[in-house]
Homo-oligomer: A and B are copies of this chain.
Amino acid sequence: MTLPVLPPLLDLTGTAVFALTGALIAARLRQTFVTMAFFALVTGVGGGTVRDLLIGEPVFWLHDPWVAPVILATALVAWFTPSTWWAGKLLLWGDAAGLAVYSVLGTAKALAFDVAPLPAAIVGVISGCVGGIIRDVLAGQPSILMRPELYVTAAALAATLCMGGTLMGLPQGLVWSLAVLAGFVLRGAAVLWKIELPAYSRDA
């Protein structure tokens, strides 16, 4: 089983988008540049770091010459620009793409290192979502996790399709592309039409 290699530019763009969402929360909370850089880091690499710790592989950004500089650069851009530039739909769509891509990437990496199928999909969901969860906990904000809007669900769809297609022996490029697309479309639909999952209501 091989590991999906994202075109490096796409990969770094995804990291930068995630990092930007972290930096913007720090901006909204009127924080300093150092805090902003810290939030950019945690959000940008948090999910991938937990993924690598879980599967016992070297943490990816410690040996990569680009990830850390890109995150610092993202924090600098966020610092020197009005945050209204980034408040629109662009960031939401970028985040949706990052969510789908990293959920599939995490699942595929876990499968490649012999993690069992269902746990591998869970690792994928964690890769996609945990950076944002840590960001929200640190900021004292209600977490993505607690909002009814579809978010973790889109990650779960992407991860499950990646896991299922790989188990069925379908061509990997096809599996990865379809899984990313499905996660992105579901998250995008949730953003456009505010699709929500039903909440628990079985006790009166």
Residues of chain A having any CB pair with chain B under 8 Å: 26-27, 29-36, 38, 41, 49, 53-56, 58-59, 61-65, 67-69, 72, 79-84, 110, 114-116, 118-120, 122-123, 133, 137-140, 142-143, 145-146, 148, 152-153, 156, 196-204
Q: Which residues of B sit under 8 angstroms from A197, Cβ to Cβ?
A: 32-34
The answer to whether B31 touches A203 (Cβ under 8 A) is no
What are the 5 A-B residue pairs with the smallest beta carbon separation, nearest first? A32-B197, A68-B118, A27-B200, A30-B199, A83-B203
Contact of A59 among B56, B140, B204 (CB under 8 A): B56
Out of B82, B116, B146, name the residue touching A29 (CB < 8 Å).
Answer: B146
Q: A156 and B63: CB pair below 8 A? A: no
Contacting pair B31 A119 (CB below 8 A): no
Taking CB atoms, residues of chain B closer than 8 Å to A81 are 202
Known contacts A38-B145, A56-B58, A203-B84; is-contact A116 B32 (Cβ 8 Å) = no
Chain B residues with Cβ under 8 A from A152's Cβ? 34-35, 38
Once A54-B62, A58-B56, A200-B26 are accepted as A-B contacts, the answer to whether A35 and B119 lie under 8 Å apart by CB is no
A200 contacts across to B, CB distance below 8 A: 26-27, 30-33, 36, 79, 83
Q: Which residues of B contact A34 (CB under 8 A)?
A: 152-153, 156, 197
Q: Are B201 and A30 in contact (CB under 8 A)?
A: yes
Contact partners of A201 in chain B: CB under 8 A = 30
- CB-CB < 8 A to A61: which residues of B? 119
